Chains A and B, each alone.
Chain A
């Protein structure tokens, strides 16, 4: 703390960001109310999260408890979604599958957001050689398909949840870095950033207080859309057989298993398939809603 200049200089300048945030919050809910499809998506996601968090405590069955007298039962009061080829309760398994999908999706999105945000902000703010060097790495990695890297990592180091998350983070972050970087480039010379700089704010302070809050809405949009991609990637890995390993359930693996009995018991496939598809669609709906509301470039479209 040198003098009062930086403080008095930055304080009024920091206000617009936080004021904008609080102004934005209520219209977000109102906009959600005016958009029934996005609202349905959001409600479905809340339900899935609640089930994933609380479901295992409320469940009457375990995910691997076999009941060989009750194979392939249809939906009933005892087994809401029926039972599978080992007599395991499908509803319980889908609830546990939601835990896998959501925890892998959220962990990977957290990792890639932090990495992409940092990378993109540094590249965009410092520009010049930094920008060149950092963005060349992004150029190199951005076209790399998620599934391929995940297959390499889990194929060689084994299909643990941690390895799946690492592989997903590695392929997802360059896209985030590119978006954040272009937005930072667009706002780094704005008056309020200049003002903060002139008032003597340190670089970390400018990055954290002035740049980050003004690109975070893009990060939220991007992250929501990315979760759907990442959930789908985990399901695909588990479907191929190199993701979550049995007996622990995951949606992709349940879908693969029920393919063997598709002719005689198609309902066994319908439930996990619906759970996965609806979750992916819900994340996309909410993500697109957020981008309409939060991303100014969408305005007027």
Chain B
């Protein structure tokens, strides 16, 4: 186990360093001169040279990369070239909790509802409830999130006026974004819970519990649900990753000030320092999630050793 943890950590670090290098190089290959962007009308060769020196852009690239790594390590990420005076670290720091809260809520909803639906489908295997749930799983995995979002917004926000169309600040603003983010994780958690509950239902201890006369709900909750939930634990990371990526659609659509919208706005404004920082944060989140997933696999299934 310890060896495996070390191996996975050793794999995560070069990925992150490589990503940082890639992002750094991409930023330098990007069209346009940040100094010209910042100075605008005040651009003269003299002012440009001064600013370039202030920003450290006249130093050797290798040195700039080391400085960039230093900025990452201290979570400051430099300043925005497009909006001078705006510290990228502050921008990310304000936006990241919003996205994480949304993703966390979506995963929680998906896990609870997914295990429940999966067990229901397994119990009524082949019956109408199972068929409906199975069909829903296929739809949830195939229909793009922004298409589902359109349906939800149309009925719940526009027709029935139960929820706000977009915006951020009220508790009601969470409902539709979390629902949209939860759909894909809900679908695959349901699928996994169904197959694992199906296996648990065949176990001797379930038959024993039933044959000694325990009430069906008791058997379901105490014996089936608990054991069926175990494989689902290992999909939490995948669910979280899906929810994080889903943020790009949801935050743009519902106008939520999360990190995905920060990244998208940075693209439109050609604000490379902000974009680089946002992408790095996403990669760090993803590396952490992947690490957690692989470690949970190894922990829960001792046969997995690399």
Chain A interface residues (CB < 8 Å from chain B): 136, 139-140, 143-145, 147-148, 151-158, 228, 232, 235-236, 239-242, 252, 255-256, 259, 262-263, 266, 269, 273, 276-277, 280-281, 284
A277 touches B147 (CB 8 A): yes
Contacts of A240 in B (CB 8 A): 248-249, 252, 264
Contacts of B289 in A (CB 8 A): 143
Contacts of A273 in B (CB 8 A): 144, 147, 150
A156 touches B142 (CB 8 A): no
A152 touches B144 (CB 8 A): no
B31 touches A158 (CB 8 A): yes
With contacts A143-B290, A156-B272 taken as known, whether A276 is within 8 angstroms of B144 at the C-beta atoms is yes
B286 touches A145 (CB 8 A): yes
Residue B21 at the chain A interface, CB threshold 8 Å: no
The 7 closest A-B pairs by CB, nearest first: A155-B267, A143-B290, A281-B142, A273-B147, A156-B30, A156-B26, A145-B245
User: What are 5 pairs between A and B in contact, CB < 8 Å?
Assistant: A140-B14, A143-B287, A155-B266, A255-B150, A262-B153
Alpha-carbon distance A269/B244, docked complex (angstroms)? 25
Alpha-carbon distance A236/B11, docked complex (angstroms)? 30
Give the residue of B29, B244, B248, B253 whose beta carbon is less than 8 angstroms from that of A151: B248
Min CB distance A277 to B, Å, is 5
Alpha-carbon distance A145/B289, docked complex (angstroms)? 12
- Most B CB contacts (10 A, CB to CB) among A143, A153, A262, A263 go to A143
Contacts of A145 in B (CB 8 A): 241, 244-245, 282, 286
Majority SS at the chain A contact face? helix
A147 touches B11 (CB 8 A): no
A148 touches B158 (CB 8 A): no
A241 touches B264 (CB 8 A): yes
Min CB distance A284 to B, Å, is 5
Alpha-carbon distance A164/B27, docked complex (angstroms)? 17
Residue B18 at the chain A interface, CB threshold 8 Å: yes
With contacts A145-B241, A239-B249 taken as known, whether A156 is within 8 angstroms of B29 at the C-beta atoms is yes
Min CB distance B275 to A, Å, is 5
Alpha-carbon distance A46/B124, docked complex (angstroms)? 37
A236 touches B146 (CB 8 A): yes
Chain B residue with the shortest CB-CB distance to A281: B142
Alpha-carbon distance A232/B184, docked complex (angstroms)? 13
Chain A residue with the shortest CB-CB distance to B143: A277
Contacts of B268 in A (CB 8 A): 241
Alpha-carbon distance A154/B279, docked complex (angstroms)? 12
A236 touches B144 (CB 8 A): yes
- Most B CB contacts (10 A, CB to CB) among A157, A240, A280 go to A240
Contacts of B244 in A (CB 8 A): 145
Residue B283 at the chain A interface, CB threshold 8 Å: yes
A281 touches B143 (CB 8 A): yes
B249 touches A148 (CB 8 A): no
Chain B residue with the shortest CB-CB distance to A288: B138
With contacts A147-B248, A255-B150, A269-B150 taken as known, whether A242 is within 8 angstroms of B11 at the C-beta atoms is no
Residue B263 at the chain A interface, CB threshold 8 Å: yes
Chain A residue with the shortest CB-CB distance to B146: A239
Proximity bits, B242-257, A CB within 8 Å = 1, else 0: 0011001100110000
Alpha-carbon distance A154/B275, docked complex (angstroms)? 11
Contacts of A147 in B (CB 8 A): 245, 248
With contacts A156-B272, A242-B267 taken as known, whether A148 is within 8 angstroms of B283 at the C-beta atoms is yes
Min CB distance A178 to B, Å, is 14
- Most A CB contacts (10 A, CB to CB) among B147, B249, B268 go to B147
Chain A residue with the shortest CB-CB distance to B306: A139
Alpha-carbon distance A252/B154, docked complex (angstroms)? 18
